[in-house]
Every structure is written in C-alpha cells, then in structure tokens.
C-alpha cells in the first residue's frame, strides 16, 4: 500500500486530462505532496505553485481544474485552498487498506529491497585499546548500530567495522609500564582499569625521569619491528580491552563484522604512499610529506612526518582502499564526531585527486557532544562517566521503579535490563545526531513524555489489550475506525515506511525514534478516548486490528534504533 503514490497518480491523470501535461511524472508529484499542518486541511496537500510557469496558469486555477477531475475510492473529497489541492481520504477504505498492509507484513512493515545487491560499510564505535569505554563513545556506537539495522531493513548488505585505535607510541609506553611495575594476575583481575592505572603511573614517573619516554618509544619501535615479546604483550592488551568492552556491547546488543584497526593497515600503507608519489600528489613541506589541498580551501593533508612515520590520514587512506577492494562498497559511512570533519574532507579529497570516482560514495556521518547532568566530559579532569557503569546504574534505577510500580512483575531482572538500557539508547537517538546531548536521569527514565520507557510501556499496553481480546471470530468493521483518534494513528502507521526511508537517506536514526514515539502517543490517545473491547464484535475486531498494527510497528521502530520491546512492565 502506497497511498502517497496513488494520490500522485490521480494528480498526474488529472493534469493530463485538464492540460494535456505528461510532466511531472508520478514519483515527482509524490515528492511534492505535503502533509498539512492541521488535520482539518486534509490528509495530503498538493501545492500547484511549481506548475504555474509551465502551465501558464495561476496556482488557484490549476488547483480548481484538477479538483474537478479527481474522483476515486481513495478520496472522500478534494478541496482547493488557495494554490493547494487538499485531499481528504475515504476514512473507512483508508483504515482497511492500511491495516491489511501493515498486518500482512508483521514485523517487516517499512522494510524494502531498495538496497538489494548493494553493500554499505559502516565504521563506528572505534574504541581505543587500553582505555575504558565511556559515555562519549555512546553516540558513535548507537548511531552506527541503528544505521546498520536500518540499512539491513532496506535490503543492503551491511559490513560493520570497529576500527580499533591500536597504534601509536602510547602502546610502547604501556608495554614499558607493564614491564616495570605490572603483574599479569593484576591485569587479568583488573582488566582495562589496571592498564589505565599503569599508563597514568608511567606519565607521573616520566615527569620525574624524562628518559622513560625514550624507553616507551623504544618499546613501540619493537612493536613496529615485530619483536616477539613486545607483540605478545601488545596483543594481550588488545584481548584484555576487547574482553572488557564486550560486556558493554553485550548490554547494548551491538555486534561487529570486523575489528580491523589501525595496526591492521601497517603493511597496507606503502602501496598507497607510492601511488601518491607516482601521481605527483606528495610534496615536501617543512621536512614532512603532504598532499597540497590549498586550491580546495583546506590545509595540507599530512601523510608522512619528518621522521617518516605515518598518521591517522595515512592509515585511513589504506583502510579506504582495503575496504573498496574487499567489500566493493556502494556506500562507506564513517560515524565519527563532528570535530573530525576536516580530517574526512581531506581524506575524501585526496582519494578524488588520486582519480577514484568512488570518493563520492564515502560520507562522514557526524554527531554532537555528550555531557552528563549538565557537566562536560573531560578525561584529564577526571570528569568522566564510564559507559558500563552508566548502563548498570540505569538497570538498577529501572529495577527500583519496577519494585515500586509493579512488584509482582515476572522476569523483573530482564525487564529492568530492557528498560534501563533502552532509556540510555533513546536519550542518545531522540534528536538529530548533530545536536549536543545532555544525559539526565530524570528525563531518561520518565514514563511520561518522549522517553524509551514511555514507548516501551505503550507496547506493553498493546500486548495487554491483545491478550485480553484473545481469538476473535468477527470480521472487522472498519467504519469503527473513522474517528479522529483512530485516523491520526492510521496516518502515522501508513507513513512509517517513509520515516524509515528518510532515516536511511539522511543517515538520521532519530527520524525513526520520533515517528515511533508519535505512534505511541497517538495510540495512547486512541486508547483513552475509545473502548476497544465492547459489545460490538465487528467494531472490537477493527480496534483490536489497529492495536495489533500499532504494537507491531512500535516494536519494529524500537528494534531499528536498538531498543527491546518488553511485553509486560
């Protein structure tokens, strides 16, 4: 069911009849259709202003001519308001077609095959080895995870990549610190925090004895040269970090197809550097080698330092070429904070200058900053919130609320996990990704307003109604769904696929978050205004069908943003 396209086809047929016009085509007209700001103005509106020059008529004249020629089962009436053509749908038919479409695709409403045969690579989370996972990593992780699900849902083959930060002099310092003061049993017991403590101690000691920095660099040189002991310790640090972070990923329900990090590309950079030289793109600048981007309004892209060592840009270039060769992507998304905007503009421009047209398929999906209870995060000042601590505290708080509101609830631990984790994820994905986020407990765990618990509770309300309804034998009477509340909900259900499409096209998960929340709000209004289970079996069957469609779509929407939908709360 695509009511928008059907309306567009009616407009096209009327245009041809009234003016002999073959253009615009139905898809273009569908893109022009608007949703009126008030229900009293109709369900769809077609602005005739863009046709005025082509047809050499005033917009009101065009609208009036089209209105005379449109009469179809889909529409109850078509009205002209200024230069707009407003469509009022046949409410009973609309209810029938919407519910039949949604329920025929239970759990897949909004899915498509638009990405069939195409591959999208998503680079997100990208944790640093030997550092704890903090709340600042939440946005990249959950935006990336949600986009992966949205692209999957749209038929794409997705490749999720955790581009580990696992290269640099700091790892030589880590090995040095471990050799001097560390014990294997302490690191095994303390995990990443034990490594962080060693790193902090190294820097304190280096302030007293600067020669330690030279020792750290020497150990990193050993890692680069493949020294057996240095590599063994280095790889062990990676294992310890991934074991720690896996607990967080398990809580969030996040998985990856690849953990290839910076170290993976160490032997893959030289061919790219050589190609830059052969294409005369590398120039010397104060002893370093750079790609000059001055004609593109950007600083030079540094490829090799004075001492010949590589940088992020060098490794990201090698990674881009490896991903294109390995996955032959149609899209390559980098879900990274907005502060790296220049870095990615430089990266894409260098690939363009190298003569590869697929630079156009690469996109930096940026996002804003995260703060906690109004305080900016600052690692050096100790003002940091570790993500595992935050998630477990959210689950604890959710458990306290359950004990207070539903002490006899079955599976309290499982539901507390679903609510607590969902609250944290929702707080991150409820607004446009570029907006800064301030995580606050009183908002996140509120059962009213725009929060995960509110949407999850609406899902459980739908489940409760369906359990009470049981098996129904009567055929639905869709005339029972012609009231304003049911129609408002039906319109949102019908437009859910558009929300998924827009989220994918704009790489904005919050489009799904917002639309799913609106469905929950509309269902609650319908629930309070109308008795769903009453003495009329046919009317009851229609309202139960609407409840089932709302439940299924809410569950799908929550899934696409990475949140579970409990059946009881």
How would you list the strands of the sheet with 437-439, edge to edge? 375-376, 370-372, 437-439
Q: Which two tokens stand for residue 140?
A: 């990249």
Q: Which two tokens stand for residue 371?
A: 């703060």
Q: Which two tokens stand for residue 514?
A: 């917002």
| Residue 502 pLDDT | 96
Calculate the CA 382 to chain-centre distance.
29
| Residue 543 pLDDT | 98
- Each domain of the chain, given as residue ranges in start order, spans 3-89, 168-251, 420-560
DSSP H or E run through 187 = helix 184-190
Q: How far is CA 555 from CA 252, 341, 364, 506, 559, in A?
A: 17, 34, 29, 22, 6
CATH architecture entry for 3-89 = 2-Layer Sandwich (3.30)
C-alpha to C-alpha distance for 455 and 518, rounded to whole angstroms: 9
- CB contact set of 508 (below 8 Å; sequence gap of 6+): 432, 433, 502
Q: 80 and 86 in contact (C-beta within 8 Å)? A: yes
Q: What is the pLDDT along the chain (569 residues), one digit of tens a residue?
A: 578 888 999 999 999 998 887 778 888 999 899 999 888 889 999 999 989 988 899 999 999 999 999 988 888 899 998 899 999 999 999 999 999 999 999 899 999 999 999 999 999 999 888 888 888 889 999 999 999 999 999 999 999 999 999 888 888 998 999 999 989 999 999 988 899 889 888 888 988 888 889 998 899 889 888 889 999 999 999 999 999 899 999 999 999 999 998 989 989 999 999 999 999 999 999 889 999 999 999 999 999 988 777 888 999 999 999 999 999 999 999 999 999 999 999 999 999 999 999 999 999 999 988 777 766 655 444 557 788 888 998 999 999 999 998 899 989 999 999 999 999 999 999 999 998 877 776 776 777 778 999 999 999 999 999 999 999 989 999 999 999 999 999 999 999 999 999 999 999 999 999 999 999 999 999 999 999 998 899 999 999 999 999 999 999 999 999 999 999 98
Q: How wide is the angle at C-alpha 112 spanned by C-alphas 109 and 115, nearest 5°?
A: 155
| Residue 221 pLDDT | 87
Instruction: Classify burial at 546, counting beta carbons within 10 Å of its beta carbon; exposed 0-12, middle 13-18, buried 19 or more.
Output: buried
Q: Is 420-560 a domain of CATH 1.10.3720.10?
A: no
| Residue 380 pLDDT | 45
Residues linked to residue 301 through DSSP beta bridges, in sequence order: 291
């Amino acid at each position: 069911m695509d009511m928008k396209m059907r309306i567009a086809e009616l407009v096209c047929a009327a245009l041809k009849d009234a003016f002999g016009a073959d253009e615009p085509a139905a898809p273009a007209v569908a893109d022009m259709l608007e949703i009126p700001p008030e229900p009293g103005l109709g369900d769809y509106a077609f602005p005739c202003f863009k046709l005025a020059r082509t047809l050499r008529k005033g917009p009101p004249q065009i609208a009036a001519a089209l209105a005379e020629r449109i009469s179809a089962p889909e529409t109850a009436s078509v009205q002209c308001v200024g230069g707009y053509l407003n469509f009022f749908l046949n409410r009973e038919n609309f209810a029938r077609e919407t519910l039949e479409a949604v329920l025929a695709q239970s759990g897949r409403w909004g899915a498509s095959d638009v990405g069939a045969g195409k591959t999208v690579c998503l680079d997100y989370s990208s944790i640093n080895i030997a550092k704890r996972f903090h709340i600042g990593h939440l946005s990249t992780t959950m935006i990336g995870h949600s986009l992966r699900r949205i692209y999957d849902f749209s038929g794409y083959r997705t490749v999720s990549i955790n581009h580990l930060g696992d290269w640099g002099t700091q790892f030589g310092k880590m090995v040095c610190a471990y050799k001097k003061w560390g014990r294997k049993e302490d690191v095994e017991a303390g995990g990443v925090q034990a490594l962080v403590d060693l790193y902090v101690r190294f820097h304190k000691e280096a302030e007293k004895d600067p020669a330690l920095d030279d020792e750290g660099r020497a150990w990193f040189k050993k890692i680069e040269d493949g020294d057996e002991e240095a590599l063994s310790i280095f790889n062990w640090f990676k294992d310890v970090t991934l074991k720690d972070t896996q607990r967080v990923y398990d809580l969030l329900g996040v998985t990856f197809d690849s953990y290839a990090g910076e170290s993976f590309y160490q032997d893959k950079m030289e061919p790219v550097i050589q190609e830059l030289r052969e294409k005369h793109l590398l120039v010397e600048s104060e002893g370093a080698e750079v790609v000059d981007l001055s004609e593109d309004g950007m600083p030079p892209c540094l490829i090799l330092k004075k001492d010949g060592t590589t940088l992020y840009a060098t490794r990201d270039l090698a990674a881009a070429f490896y991903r294109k060769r390995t996955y032959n992507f149609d899209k390559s998304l980098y879900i990274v904070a907005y502060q790296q905007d220049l870095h990615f503009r430089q990266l894409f421009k260098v690939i363009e200058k190298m003569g590869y047209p697929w630079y156009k398929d690469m996109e930096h999906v940026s996002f804003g900053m995260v703060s906690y209870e109004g305080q900016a995060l600052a690692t050096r000042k100790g003002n940091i919130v570790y993500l595992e601590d935050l998630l477990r505290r959210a689950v604890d708080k959710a458990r306290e609320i359950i004990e207070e509101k539903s002490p006899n609830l079955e599976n309290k631990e499982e539901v507390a996990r679903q609510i607590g984790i969902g609250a944290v994820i929702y707080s991150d994905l409820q607004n446009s990704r570029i907006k800064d986020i301030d995580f606050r407990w009183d908002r996140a765990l509120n059962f009213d307003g725009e929060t995960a618990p509110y949407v999850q509770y609406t899902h459980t309300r739908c489940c409760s109604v369906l359990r009470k309804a049981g098996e129904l034998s009567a055929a639905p009477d869709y005339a029972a769904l012609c009231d304003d509340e049911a129609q408002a909900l039906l319109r949102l259900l019908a437009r859910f696929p558009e929300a998924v499409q827009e989220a994918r096209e704009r790489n904005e998960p919050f489009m799904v978050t917002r639309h799913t929340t609106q469905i929950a709000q509309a269902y609650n209004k319908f629930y309070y205004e109308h008795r769903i289970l009453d003495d009329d079996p046919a009317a009851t069957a229609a309202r139960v069908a609407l409840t089932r469609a709302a439940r299924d779509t809410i569950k799908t929407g929550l899934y696409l943003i990475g949140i579970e939908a409990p059946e009881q709360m």
